[in-house]
Chains A and B, each alone.
Chain A
Amino acid sequence: MMISRTFVAAFAAGCTLLALAGCSNDPTLAGTNTGTFIQIDRVGRPALDTIFVPFAQHAANDRGTPATDVKVLGPEISTFMTQTAGRSAAVAAAGESLLLTHNADVLLADFSQSGNAGYLGVETSGKIGQVFGGRGLTDDVMTADLGIAFGNALVTAGLVADDGKENNGQAGTPNLTSAGVVPVRHITAVFPYLGAPQ
């Protein structure tokens, strides 16, 4: 009986490790490969896919390069802002221009600047985020992105005139700009800065 129990427990543990570690059946190890790797995912500015692009179109952006962003992402951002968010053409154009600054979905940082990181800081000269730009671990990037689509972030940044079509919880509109989340994270002042796993 003990042998059976031990065997079954070992089998279960082995299966668990295999399932946790594997999750794939690609026979080619990356570290020893001299061939070509084909891109399957790409992330620059946070949540452009999640907010602005229908799921069916995500793969095109994931497999694309910055050089394809204006063609692939541009129309999706514009369509979401004018149709889903109901914004004016001018506000939609300003949003698309901001989110594709330098014609691409990338994080921009300015190493000439001191101070902390702050999402969209380079793109807006510090009117949104911090002038260093990049993205900090505590940046509320979703509020920033949703504020572009549904709020008055572009107006506040001086990028476009107000179209009066915000959905920001004011004047009886639904609040689509802020998720109201107060995160509890364990960011540290020492490397690697992200908190220990929970």
Chain B
Amino acid sequence: MKPARLYGAIFAAFALIAAAVVCVHSPAPGADAYDSATTIARPGADISDAYLFPSPANTGNIVAVMDVNPGIAAGQGLNAYFDQHVLYQMKFDNLVASEAQGAAPTENMVVQFSVGAAGSGTQQIFVYGPSAPNQTGANDTLLPQTGSGYINKAFQTTNGLTVFAGAREDPFFFDSTQFYKMFPDRNGGSTAQSCLPVSLGGNDTCPQGFNNPGTDGQANANVLSIVVEMPRTLIMPNGVGKIAYWATTGTTTGQ
């Protein structure tokens, strides 16, 4: 093989390996990252964190966030795309305060997102809702579309949502490495022995527990974030009262 071809083949192999590594991600998780075999195999559907907070820019607005695809390495954020086979959903129950005793929240307002095929550095984002879901529970169908835009660019929908879907610095922080040394069975079902004192079932190699200072396991890591800012009244009648929020992902195959 000529040197040029040999170098090219080596480069090609390296590129494929690098891409595969990005797909399986680094071991630094978000709060709920890598939490099942299904989501490990499909990182684009792996929800690491959800946030809900008042808009810093407009007190009449609320901001909902769901982060997926955790552990995107530094410098790779703009090369990451949402999974085109996944339905992303923000679910709300604005009647949570009046649910019957013993009842659990049930979504009565949802915002859905899907994406187009990735290519040429871009990807189309589709928005549906917020409106009442077609059905409640773990199975879902698409609502009427209310807007669309592109990855890594903020856009507006016709019904008053400001949306960003794309790569962001992971805001979650935690000394996940030390945590998994102390509780290894939480790390993908590892059977390694805990480093905690013998009295806590460990081998006493970390009797101090967490270190101080600890290590920020998510420093310089990125996620794919879906960020929605909207008037509170879009998901809550009169814009006041208690609300429950949770995020979900789903596929037509359940895998």
Tell me the A residues contacting B by CB distance below 8 Å: 1, 4-5, 7-9, 11-13, 15-21, 23-24, 26, 28-31, 33-44, 46-51, 54-56, 58-59, 62-67, 69-70, 84, 86, 102-112, 114-117, 122, 132, 134-138, 140-142, 167, 169, 173-187, 189-198
A68 to B250, CA, bound (A): 17
Which of A40, A103, A193 is the one whose CB lies under 8 Å from B254? A40
A70 to B197, CA, bound (A): 32
Q: How far is the CB of B54 from chain A (nearest CB, A)?
A: 6
Q: What are 18 A-to-B residue pairs whose CB atoms are below 8 Å?
A: A5-B8, A11-B12, A31-B124, A43-B66, A44-B245, A66-B105, A110-B242, A111-B240, A137-B51, A141-B31, A169-B209, A173-B209, A174-B209, A179-B174, A179-B178, A183-B173, A184-B219, A194-B225
Which of A17, A40, A115, A167 is the one whose CB lies under 8 Å from B38? A40
A148 to B45, CA, bound (A): 29
B interface size (C-beta, 8 A) = 144
A67 to B172, CA, bound (A): 27
Q: How far is the CB of A198 from chain B (nearest CB, A)?
A: 4
Q: Using Cβ atoms and an 8 Å threshold, which residues of chain B touch A112?
A: 240-242
B168 pairs with A37, CB closer than 8 A: no
A179 to B210, CA, bound (A): 5
**CB within 8 Å of A: which of B3-23?**
4-5, 7-9, 11-12, 14-16, 18-20, 22-23
A38 pairs with B250, CB closer than 8 A: yes
Which of B59, B103, B171, B185 is the one whose CB lies under 8 Å from A54? B185
Q: How far is the CB of A106 from chain B (nearest CB, A)?
A: 4
Q: A197 and B106 in contact (CB under 8 A), knowing A31-B114, A55-B186, A169-B209?
A: no
B4 pairs with A5, CB closer than 8 A: yes
Q: Mark B123-139, 1 if CB is under 8 A from A, else 0.
A: 11010000000001111
Q: Using Cβ atoms and an 8 Å threshold, which residues of chain B touch A11?
A: 12
Residue on B nearest A64 in the bound complex, by CB:
B138
Q: A103 and B103 in contact (CB under 8 A), knowing A49-B32, A55-B35, A55-B189?
A: yes
Q: Using Cβ atoms and an 8 Å threshold, which residues of chain B touch A59?
A: 36-38
Q: A12-B11, A66-B244, A142-B31 are in contact. List 5 more A-B contacts (CB 8 A).
A: A8-B9, A29-B84, A66-B104, A142-B179, A192-B227
